[in-house]
Amino acid sequence: MNVINDSPRRKELTRQAAQLFVQEGFDRTTVRMLAQEMGIKSGSLFHHFRDKQEILAAVIEEGTQNALVIARAALDQCDNSAEARLQAMARAHLETLLTDRNAHVVALYEWRRLDPEARAHLSHLRDAYEALWEAVIDEALAEGLIHGDRFLVSRFVMGALNWTVRWYDPAGPRSPDDLAHELVAMITHRPA
């Protein structure tokens, strides 16, 4: 019947859906609203996605996958000091949070709306991303740059970073780079 692959058209529709999901929330966004935003009728929407749930999964997958790619690239391009790597991860995290802001806000707020299968699939992606963080935290601990419990420190850092979507204003005076410096300085006690 319908197409479930990842055509370029589907990518674009996914991007527009993310926008609406952020504005209205997943449950309040109707398939008719989505269709209107996409410039088609509601019936046509089900040619691209099996159901409404699948649109949510597509949005979150897109954002998480991008975050992984960007973080890996950032780690490849910086030197081996734990401080530089910590900085690079923080900065990469904040940058995806901005460039793919819609997708990430949806991932943070609407994760629980995913059905079990989609959640299991996306959990793996997210775990892979968090593993990058824990590796970098481990290096910083080994070098004595920071101290404390590996698990707790990484959760605290992720929390501080993810929370930025609630207050950060890209039009304000602070760049993502500023934020990354300030955060690393806070936990390493070296001047920003």
Partner DNA sequence: GGGTCAACCAAGCAAGCGCTAGTGTAAATG
Partner DNA sequence: CATTTACACTAGCGCTTGCTTGGTTGACCC
Q: Does 43 contact its own copies by CB under 8 A?
A: no
Q: How far is the CB of 22 from DNA (least distance, A)?
A: 16
- Taking CB within 5 to 8 Å according to partner kind, which of its own copies, DNA, none is near residue 153? its own copies
- Looking at residues 56 to 95 of the shown chain, list those that interact with its own copies (rule: CB under 8 A): none
Q: Which of 15, 109, 135, 175 binds its own copies (CB under 8 A)?
A: 109
State the first-to-last Cα distance of the chain, in angstroms, to the nearest integer: 57
Q: Which long-range contacts (CB under 8 A, 24 or more apart) does 40-49 make?
A: 45/13, 46/2, 47/2, 47/3, 48/2, 48/3, 48/7, 48/9, 48/10, 48/13, 49/2, 49/4, 49/10, 49/13
- Taking CB within 5 to 8 Å according to partner kind, which of its own copies, DNA, none is near residue 182? its own copies
CA atoms 124, 118, 12, 164: torsion sign: negative
Residues that bind its own copies (CB under 8 A): 25, 27-28, 109, 112-113, 146-149, 152-153, 155-164, 166-167, 174, 179, 182-183, 185-187, 189, 191-192
